[in-house]
């Protein structure tokens, strides 16, 4: 299986080198307005550099190198761990970033704060590759600011070889929050996402509340639930937990993002047993679904290069290469024919309709965001 995977990967890489997914060099083409090919953005003068700020482990870095080599643009690439870290960085006045990758609710916040540049999707011909169900999402109804990048869910990852889980598959958020369960496996390590909306969101869903609530009583209850469970947790890591904690077996259970757990599964996949070490579950109480986006900062002075890079990321083969590397679902319909079949068929990555029904979006909570800040400060401050 792994061999098949490598061969497919090689074929994809060769295919990518052949045509060059963005088409011929940018400055040699005629610009044709409204053209849906990759060449419509072509007559622009590209900048020497572009500064890109993305989630950690969220791209196949070979695609960055390929862009740099094909178009002669140096990508200055940096990563963040959460939407709130990204926001804090921009609010602290960081002006260097051109292209950023906020999630749904954070797009809404950033639009309100005037932190995003308006875009014209006519400048991004590959926008036509996006599956219509991801076009015009409520947080940016006309895609005036952003285009979709990848999407996924937030559930529970657990080790397939844990004897307790073999008898009791973690099908509820209780496995993250209830001491009588946690006592059974805390010695083997538990990780939670270091994320001020995701962790409270899971606690709220478990308690039967909306993960976007602004009711202080519900939020206090969620905080107390987290504080009770916290002594059983080993790590708060949402950056590299798949590679540093899951794959090496440093923990036995994690709150996790779908692609990171799928990455741990496929990277521990054993041809003989035809199975990997990590399983993923969407708890019965429900879970968060998110859509991450590609946007341009309001302070960017490189609009043309930024949309050119966005167009490159939305190319079918580039989009597929990214998903084949990150194991996150792609909103790029045209990419599907290049995505590895085992990824397309993996229900932990592309959830079936009965799971979709249990998923909910995080939304902007406006002026009540301070309630979540307070909750998070209390959680992080406690010993
Ligand atoms: C992957 C980051 C996933 C982004 N490391 C979750 N919105």
Q: Report pLDDT digits (tens) over 208-256.
A: 999 999 999 999 999 999 999 999 999 999 999 999 999 999 999 999 9
Is the Cα torsion angle 153, 124, 79, 59 positive or negative in sign?
positive
| Nearest CA owner, ligand 1 atom 1 | 58
Is the Cα torsion angle 137, 143, 144, 149 positive or negative in sign?
positive
Looking at the CA of residue 290, tell me the nearest atom of ligand 1.
Answer: 7
State if residue 57 touches ligand 1 by the CB under 6 angstroms criterion: yes
State if residue 58 touches ligand 1 by the CB under 6 angstroms criterion: yes
- How far is Cα 72 from Cα 270, in angstroms, rounded to an integer? 40
Going by pLDDT thresholds of 50, 70 and 90, the confidence category of residue 95 is confident
- How far is Cα 112 from Cα 354, in angstroms, rounded to an integer? 34
Position 339 scores a pLDDT of: 98
Residue range 133-149: mean pLDDT, rounded: 98
- How far is Cα 264 from Cα 261, in angstroms, rounded to an integer? 5
Q: pTM of the entire structure?
A: 0.88
Looking at the CA of residue 238, tell me the nearest atom of ligand 1.
Answer: 5
Residue range 67-73: mean pLDDT, rounded: 98
- How far is Cα 249 from Cα 234, in angstroms, rounded to an integer? 13
Summarised one tens digit per residue, pLDDT across range 112-121 is 999 999 999 9
State if residue 103 touches ligand 1 by the CB under 6 angstroms criterion: yes
For residue 88, what are the contacts with CB-CB under 8 A and spacing of at least 6?
A: none
Residue range 43-52: mean pLDDT, rounded: 92
Assess whether pLDDT exceeds 50 at residue 277.
yes
Q: Which domains does the chain have, with CATH numbers?
A: 49-151+291-349 (3.40.190.10), 154-289+363-381 (3.40.190.10)
Backbone angles phi, psi at 161, to 5 degrees: -95, 5
Looking at the CA of residue 239, tell me the nearest atom of ligand 1.
Answer: 5
Position 24 scores a pLDDT of: 34
The tokens describing 357, both together, are: 């029904």
State if residue 257 touches ligand 1 by the CB under 6 angstroms criterion: yes
The tokens describing 376, both together, are: 């998070």
| Nearest CA owner, ligand 1 atom 6 | 257
State if residue 374 touches ligand 1 by the CB under 6 angstroms criterion: no
- How far is Cα 165 from Cα 28, in angstroms, rounded to an integer? 59
Mean of pLDDT over the chain: 91
Q: Ligand 1 centre and the CA of 196: distance in Å?
A: 14
Position 44 scores a pLDDT of: 79
Distances (CA, A) of 275 to 160, 164, 213, 235: 9, 18, 39, 26
Residue range 166-175: mean pLDDT, rounded: 98
Q: Ligand 1 centre and the CA of 257: distance in Å?
A: 7
Position 1 scores a pLDDT of: 43
Q: Which helix (H) or strand (E) holds 279?
A: strand 278-281
Assess whether pLDDT exceeds 60 at residue 173.
yes
- How far is Cα 372 from Cα 264, in angstroms, rounded to an integer? 30
Backbone angles phi, psi at 359, to 5 degrees: -95, 145
Q: Ligand 1 centre and the CA of 42: distance in Å?
A: 31
Assess whether pLDDT exceeds 60 at residue 203.
yes
Residue range 375-383: mean pLDDT, rounded: 93
Summarised one tens digit per residue, pLDDT across range 322-375 is 999 999 999 999 999 999 999 999 999 999 999 999 999 999 999 999 999 999
Q: Ligand 1 centre and the CA of 151: distance in Å?
A: 9
Q: Where would I find the H helices in the chain?
A: 2-19, 61-71, 83-91, 104-112, 163-167, 174-177, 179-185, 198-206, 216-229, 241, 258-267, 303-313, 316-326, 341-344, 353-356, 369-381
Looking at the CA of residue 55, tell me the nearest atom of ligand 1.
Answer: 2
């Amino acid at each position: 299986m792994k061999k098949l995977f490598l061969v497919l990967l090689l074929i994809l890489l060769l295919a990518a080198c052949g045509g060059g997914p963005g088409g011929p060099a940018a400055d040699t083409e005629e610009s044709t307005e409204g053209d849906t090919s990759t060449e419509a953005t072509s007559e622009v003068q590209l900048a020497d550099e572009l500064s890109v700020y993305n989630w950690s482990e969220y791209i196949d870095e070979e695609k960055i190198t390929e862009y740099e080599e094909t178009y002669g643009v140096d990508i200055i690439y940096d990563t963040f761990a959460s939407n709130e870290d990204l926001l804090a960085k921009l609010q602290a006045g960081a002006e260097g970033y051109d292209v950023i990758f906020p999630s749904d609710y954070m797009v809404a916040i950033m639009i309100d704060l005037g932190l995003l540049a308006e875009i014209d999707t006519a400048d991004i011909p590959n926008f036509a590759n996006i599956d219509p169900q991801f076009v015009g999402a409520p947080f940016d109804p006309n895609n005036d600011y952003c285009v979709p990048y990848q999407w996924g869910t937030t559930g529970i990852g657990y080790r397939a070889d844990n004897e307790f889980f073999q008898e009791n598959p973690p099908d509820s958020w209780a496995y993250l929050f209830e001491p009588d369960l946690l006592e059974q496996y805390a010695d083997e390590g538990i990780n939670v996402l270091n994320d001020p909306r995701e962790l409270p969101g899971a606690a709220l869903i478990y308690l039967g509340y909306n993960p976007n609530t602004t009711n202080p009583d519900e939020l206090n209850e969620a905080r107390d639930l987290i504080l009770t469970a916290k002594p059983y947790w080993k790590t708060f890591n949402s950056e590299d937990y798949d590679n540093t904690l899951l794959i090496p077996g440093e923990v036995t259970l994690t709150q996790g993002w779908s692609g990171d757990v799928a990455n741990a599964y496929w990277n521990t996949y054993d041809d003989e047993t035809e199975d990997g070490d990590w399983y993923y579950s969407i708890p019965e109480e429900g879970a968060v679904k998110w859509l991450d986006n590609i946007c341009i900062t309001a302070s960017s002075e490189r609009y043309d290069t930024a949309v050119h890079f966005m167009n490159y990321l939305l190319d079918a083969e580039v989009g597929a290469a990214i998903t084949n590397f990150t194991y996150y679902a792609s909103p790029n319909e045209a990419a599907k024919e290049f995505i590895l079949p085992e990824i397309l068929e993996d229900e932990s990555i592309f959830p079936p309709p009965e799971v979709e029904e249990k998923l909910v979006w995080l939304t902007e909570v406006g002026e009540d965001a301070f309630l979540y800040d307070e909750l998070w400060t209390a959680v992080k401050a406690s010993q």
